[in-house]
Structure 1
């Protein structure tokens, strides 16, 4: 357990370093939003392209792996809907609870997979991300439109199809996954010079992204969360990973693939949830608080949860 904590600790120290830099306004207040954009639009897509272009799509495990992650997403979402209904939360709060329950911070998942399980774990995490990122984006847009109506933050009304397609087409992570998987399936990788350049960019992705995630923590937002945070956090850190673990056991997925799959249920919710809450009528202030508190809470929950998953799956 102690050795495992030492393996995971550097990931969270980078998060802490980003938060401290932002608090000290170093190097400037405008620097970290720019790093966040660079990571989101260039560095992290390069990492996803690099890893998905290496996935062995002939592996018979892939269909069951995708099934586990999609079913866990749907089960967790159903639990959040029931929690919100019993708590009589208004739709804006309920939709933010939904995001907090089913969204995951891909950056942290890949950093944990690489830190704890090495290169093979990182490739498996990229595979899981290639399944869940499009699925989560489509599911959340559809759910939030049904809950709030198809109205954007500008007040304009858009059709559901346009919102869903926009969530996918304008998402650089989805584009990178499609391009990486496509070139892989067509046998076009490695691409002369391009693959080497993307591999170099991907090496910078995780440390820069973790610093930017840490800098995005908004302690001032943690003021009015109450019961809704406890419910969404229990869905995120308890329901999601346990569901993944049970489904892996039922479908006979053991060892490293199961351990990496569980990581998707252990990471805190994604910082991009705040932007979607603002765009589609969620409670953006509570969403910011959920993101901050889950990120802080994960420093305690992740080492214990990873240790338990290793005990169960070996």
Structure 2
């Protein structure tokens, strides 16, 4: 499987956004309202659609659900623990860590959905939908909590107003109730989802300042190591612990190694944090996915 070819479209959109913002009249004044459109409307619709369109078989996938949820908890815990490490903690900016910790455990659902079909066929799509349904609420809570705390905002209020959580929760409820998007509405919803991917990645590029990564290189290395090394290794251990079958193991390993979510930048920027730094980490994570995906699916899956 050519992972570089699969990831290139996402990375190229980030690069296009960066070039448009820096070298054309489409500067930050144009991209700021686009960020709001993506965050408050396009991404929530995409999350709802992604969860609703694949029915969840809770009985047959309970072990995978438990493994995915546990992996999420471990990833969040490891990302949060970085400031408390003896040598590392002294070199981390607490506020910057609050914004970038989400890089260590969140995932690009678009890449995950695209890969699942290639790695495990139709069953892979169903299994990744289960993991998305379980982990998206957990990861959004994990992403919002430290930023709300350091920004001295009310945590519960931030969660209740978070459009990504609203989109995910409503999608889960609709899925469990057997709701299906009407056939006549599917093309419109699908196009909204496609627009969210393109505009979200381009907005991340428009807000990117690669030079800002030099201000906190140690933090960047730490959170990216959690994402692209720690998560796949923990996924391998959990696949053994929960006795997952071969297909479930492959999907879990793939899920653990995909690049981080492009919406990390949007969330950080909307909550008043250093969006350009987070956008730079998203870019590096997309590149590192070309290494971590073959490592997880090829090397670890063969153990």
TM-score > 0.5, shorter chain as reference: yes
State how 1:79-98 maps to structure 2 within 5 Å: 79-85=78-84, 86=86, 87-89=88-90, 91-92=94-95, 94-96=97-99, 98=101
Partner of 1:249: 240
Partner of 1:281: none
Partner of 1:201: 192
- Is 2:141 the partner of 1:138? yes
Distance 1:259 1:276, change over 3 A: farther
Instruction: Work out the CA distance in 2 between the residues paired with 1:305 and 1:247.
Output: 18
> Contact conserved, 1:52 with 1:123, CA < 8 A, in 2?
no
Instruction: Work out the CA distance in 1 between the residues paired with 2:229 and 2:10.
Output: 21
CA apart distance, 1:143? 5.4
> Contact conserved, 1:8 with 1:116, CA < 8 A, in 2?
no
More displaced 10-residue stretch of structure 1: 228-237 or 249-258: 249-258
Partner of 2:301: 313
CA apart distance, 1:304? 1.8
C-alpha RMSD of the superposition: 3.2
The partner residue of 1:129 within 118, 129, 132 is 132
More displaced 10-residue stretch of structure 1: 239-248 or 195-204: 195-204
More displaced 10-residue stretch of structure 1: 73-82 or 40-49: 73-82
Instruction: Work out the CA distance in 2 between the residues paired with 1:177 and 1:144.
Output: 20
> Contact conserved, 2:213 with 2:220, CA < 8 A, in 1?
no
> Contact conserved, 1:53 with 1:183, CA < 8 A, in 2?
yes
More displaced 10-residue stretch of structure 1: 227-236 or 81-90: 81-90
Equivalent pairs counted in the alignment come to: 291
Partner of 1:43: 42
Instruction: Work out the CA distance in 2 between the residues paired with 1:93 and 1:213.
Output: 17
Partner of 2:110: 110
> Contact conserved, 2:213 with 2:280, CA < 8 A, in 1?
yes
TM-score (norm 1): 0.76
Distance 1:4 1:79, change over 3 A: closer
> Contact conserved, 1:39 with 1:208, CA < 8 A, in 2?
yes
Distance 1:42 1:95, change over 3 A: closer
> Contact conserved, 1:222 with 1:292, CA < 8 A, in 2?
no
Listed as ranges, the gaps of 5+ residues in structure 2 are none
